């Protein structure tokens, strides 16, 4: 059985959670411009000071840390769903073991499922834990405990704080970009319909459509850049979560899950720098080596 501390594990902001603020700095200017665009539309009907409007929009993101909102809204925004009865039974059985080992009330967190054919799981908000349907169907009870312990470690380290804020900041940016692409299509259609016989009209119409397209792609590029930064700083958070899992007593269980990832052919380090940019996790083989080293350093009686 996993060993546990006598007291409930507390959430603590570690250095990796602080480093996760960097991607937010990259997103914030684009978020500010996006919110300003929506504010401009609003003030055509009713005047609201921009600082008030922007502050309200930003503070509304705090609702994503409420369990009810995570269950009803956030999990759907992330492409997850409520577990089926059989999935819930498997998750709850493993989750109770992990929660009990850390003296944490099991009902404090929201468990959800993402439909995926890969072994995957992630944490978001203040209480949301999402596990892939494949992991629930194919992992043993012990291995599932290891995966859940890893996601709990992210919550305890407050790694999900900046991640969730970033997810909220991207919403108006993506909306504005989509509106921009819609206006681009409208501008093209209007040019073809009304200005096709006028060279000057065609020039103006295509110029407007081109400017809108460039702006829309620029907003999406900023999101990608922020994601690349998040992936870079997030790898350290993965190692830290693995260390916490070992200290919880679920190191062997997590090792088994990572070995499944290696067996599937997804445990190697990306060879090209572009591939490393889009990868949010360190190589499974590297994580396995570090966990095994940590286990060897533990007193023999505490190895599990």
Contacts of 123 by beta carbon, 8 Å cutoff, 6+ apart: 129, 130, 151, 152, 154, 155, 159, 160
Q: Is the dihedral of CA 258, 261, 267, 270 positive or negative?
A: negative
53 domain residue, yes or no: yes
Contacts of 210 by beta carbon, 8 Å cutoff, 6+ apart: none
75 domain residue, yes or no: yes
Contacts of 80 by beta carbon, 8 Å cutoff, 6+ apart: 112, 113, 114, 130
Q: What's the pLDDT score for residue 13? A: 80
2 domain residue, yes or no: no
3 domain residue, yes or no: no
The CA distance from 270 to 86, in Å, is 36
Q: What's the pLDDT score for residue 274? A: 57
Domains contained in the chain, number: 1
Task: Give bridge partners of residue 235 from the DSSP assignment.
Answer: none
Q: What's the pLDDT score for residue 210? A: 73
Among residues 194, 223, 219, the alpha carbon closest in space to that of 206 is found at 194
Q: How is residue 2 annotated by DSSP? A: -
191 domain residue, yes or no: yes
109 domain residue, yes or no: yes
Q: What's the pLDDT score for residue 206? A: 67
With residue 110 as reference, give the H or E element that holds it. strand 110-114
34 domain residue, yes or no: yes
HEC secondary structure over 150-167: HHHHHHHCCHHHHHHHHH
50 domain residue, yes or no: yes
Residues in the chain: 304
The CA distance from 76 to 292, in Å, is 36
Q: What's the pLDDT score for residue 272? A: 52
User: Which residue's entry shows tokens 């690349």?
Assistant: 228
Q: Which domain holds residue 63?
A: 15-302
53: left (phi over 0), alpha (psi -120 to 50) or beta: alpha
Compute mean pLDDT per 10 residues along the chain, 304 residues long, and list them.
54 84 92 94 94 95 90 89 96 96 91 94 92 96 97 93 92 89 73 63 66 81 88 89 95 95 71 57 90 86 52
Among residues 111, 26, 11, the alpha carbon closest in space to that of 70 is found at 111
Q: pTM score, two decimals?
A: 0.83
């Amino acid at each position: 059985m996993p060993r546990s501390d006598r007291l409930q594990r507390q959430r603590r902001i570690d250095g990796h959670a602080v480093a996760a603020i960097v991607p937010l700095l990259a997103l914030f200017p684009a978020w500010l411009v996006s919110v300003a665009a929506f504010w401009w539309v609003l003030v055509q009907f009713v005047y609201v000071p921009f600082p008030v409007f922007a502050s309200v929009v930003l503070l509304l993101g705090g609702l994503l840390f409420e369990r009810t909102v995570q269950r009803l809204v956030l999990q759907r925004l992330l492409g997850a769903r409520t577990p089926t009865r059989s999935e819930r039974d498997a998750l709850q059985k493993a989750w109770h073991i992990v929660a009990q080992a850390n003296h944490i009330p099991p009902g404090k967190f929201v468990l959800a499922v993402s439909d995926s054919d890969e072994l995957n799981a992630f944490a978001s908000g203040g209480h949301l834990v999402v596990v892939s349907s494949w992991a629930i169907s194919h992992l043993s009870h012990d291995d599932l405990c290891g995966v859940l312990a890893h996601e709990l470690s992210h919550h305890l380290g407050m790694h999900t704080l900046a991640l969730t804020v970033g997810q909220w900041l991207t919403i108006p940016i993506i909306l504005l970009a989509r509106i921009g692409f819609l206006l681009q299509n409208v501008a093209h259609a209007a040019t073809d319909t009304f200005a096709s016989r006028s060279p000057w009209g065609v020039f103006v119409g295509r110029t407007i459509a081109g400017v809108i397209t460039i702006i829309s792609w620029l907003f999406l590029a900023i999101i990608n850049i922020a994601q690349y930064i998040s992936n870079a700083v997030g790898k350290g958070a993965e190692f830290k979560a693995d260390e916490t899992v070992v200290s919880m007593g679920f190191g062997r269980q997590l090792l088994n899950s990572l070995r499944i990832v290696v067996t599937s052919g997804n445990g190697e380090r990306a060879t090209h720098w572009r591939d490393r940019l889009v990868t949010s996790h360190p190589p499974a083989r590297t994580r396995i080596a570090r966990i095994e080293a940590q286990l060897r350093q533990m007193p023999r009686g505490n190895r599990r």
